Structure 1
């Protein structure tokens, strides 16, 4: 039979040995603190001390009752501390070496594989803005879209979209106030630039430029460098997506003074405004009918602020005259390649985030910091 203290120490040694043999992966043994043995009477503590130099001092004491000098087990009166210290150091160094090799492989191989995927995806997205039906890039495709298919629609027409520009518009407006159908088209010398599409395409181009600045031969030196590149690419992709999903808000005076109002022939009536915008994968046309407010109603005048769509009852002032929106007509059509582009943006953003998550694993769960 072993003396009581040596028997307890031997039990601790066996428990610790079993723990380190069958320990879960990815645990920082250096941070072990407050581990209770199953018997419920022994508490292991790892304390920061200069024993040995650069190492730690392991003490074993009773979990219950006041701490007594005779219950402390150190290297001077036992070998448990040194054995556990050695086990921890060996395991830590071996797993750190494996992680370092895995991280080097990630920087050398995996990062470039993801960058190639991103380039291919964004090239496809970029082609959606310019390709002709035949697939050549020498000519921007031209597509016709029909507006208003219901018999109750007050606005109908056909729009021709070529890249980021509306090149033709043939619109019929059925306005009860005028008791007639107004037919108007774009002037032959005019095109309406869809700024949202142009901006989205420019952001895709910026993202591709960033990716192409790191060719296959480039060696990434740290996780922080990879994250910085991913953050820059994700910023451009997020801006591109936001331009297609979030139309610009405008005030009614801004709509009235837009150069779009000068593109139609014959000109739109003075009490009719129009505006085009992109919302997700849809090309939208808004037509506002107005009526002039009487001077005696000025005390109730409340000008409307900026909005994508102004509701009936919205008021505004222009050229010292006050108007109120009496009717709002909205028609839209789906642009299939815009939907494809949004899908590409989502996939690319997910790839960027997944690569960042892989990088973070090495810093969040281990004391190995590639930054």
Structure 2
């Protein structure tokens, strides 16, 4: 009986020690996650030297090997395209058109804004407690990890999954009013983020005559519309005749995606460990 009582007492001591070690590990992982995500957040902010919160301007050249129909230089400042300088060669006339953003205009990239907001929300969740906070159950840690992972997954998805837009949505967007001189009615442009790339798509259109619209089928939403896609805008029907897509790698977006992947792996590893040893921590399913 005495041996059994000692064994029980020893087990209780071991369980308490193990819980303490788990607490230590949880706080160590939370600190590691905070450090990684702060680095990710700094990538989005791109603070310039000596100017807290400011963002430096970066120029990116758009071109495609063997294609000279569209060329351009984009200037990115944080989450905003503050300048675009585009040269378009019209395929039928070989006329060279030149467009730049108006000096009073910038184009906000909503994907970058949203991704940064989700990162900052994840940081808030990780820091929203005292450094000596004592987690009472494994379930509490799992809920925190799930909430953080949700924000990180949303941040990553905003960069990896561009919005699907219809051609009328592109035609009616504020982007058409960004340029000087104004874009002609047979040219549409769209900017978006895809993974670690800043992408530009230029659509050249031709007007469908009433006699040719008997087979008119308006295109639905898509990230990229192909030649032959039809749509109606301003009581006029159009068909896409040519599509030009160009992209350039934005290195700090690649860094951010790596940080998201590493952070999600850390969260999952901690969840797995808590689940395996949950019986030592009064784990209650939720």
Indicate the RMSD between aligned Cα atoms, in angstroms: 2.3
Q: Is 2:248 the counterpart of 1:342? A: no
How far apart in 1 are the matches of 2:5 and 2:213? 83
- State TM-score, norm by structure 2: 0.92
Structure 2 CA distance for partners of 1:189 and 1:136, relative to 1, 3 Å:
closer
Higher relative contact order (CA 8 A, sep 6+): 2
How far apart in 1 are the matches of 2:282 and 2:149? 23
* Deviation, structure 1 residue 179: 2.6
Task: Indicate if the aligned counterparts of 1:103 and 1:362 stay in contact, CA closer than 8 A.
Answer: no
Structure 2 CA distance for partners of 1:290 and 1:99, relative to 1, 3 Å:
same
Task: Indicate if the aligned counterparts of 2:188 and 2:204 stay in contact, CA closer than 8 A.
Answer: yes
* Deviation, structure 1 residue 97: 5.5
> 1:199 maps to what in 2?
114
2:269 to 354, 365, 368: 354
> 2:21 maps to what in 1?
105
1:370 to 276, 283, 286: 283
- State TM-score, norm by structure 1: 0.72
1:166 to 76, 81, 91: 81
> 2:203 maps to what in 1?
288
Task: Indicate if the aligned counterparts of 2:137 and 2:281 stay in contact, CA closer than 8 A.
Answer: no
1:259 to 165, 169, 174: 174
Q: Radius of gyration: which is bigger?
A: 1
How do 1:87-236 and structure 2 match up within 5 A?
98-107=14-23, 109-132=24-47, 134=49, 137-236=52-151
Number of residue pairs matched by the alignment: 284
How far apart in 1 are the matches of 2:211 and 2:6? 90
* Deviation, structure 1 residue 322: 1.3
* Deviation, structure 1 residue 218: 1.0
How far apart in 1 are the matches of 2:46 and 2:190? 26
> 1:315 maps to what in 2?
230
How far apart in 1 are the matches of 2:76 and 2:82? 6
> Gapped runs of 5+ residues in structure 1?
1-86
Structure 2 CA distance for partners of 1:92 and 1:312, relative to 1, 3 Å:
farther
How far apart in 2 are the matches of 1:203 and 1:359? 25
> 1:241 maps to what in 2?
156
How far apart in 2 are the matches of 1:300 and 1:106? 67
What does the per-residue CA deviation read over 1:243-300, in whole Å, with 9 as the maximum and x for residues that have no partner?
0000000000000001000000001111110000000000000000111112123221
How far apart in 2 are the matches of 1:237 and 1:312? 36
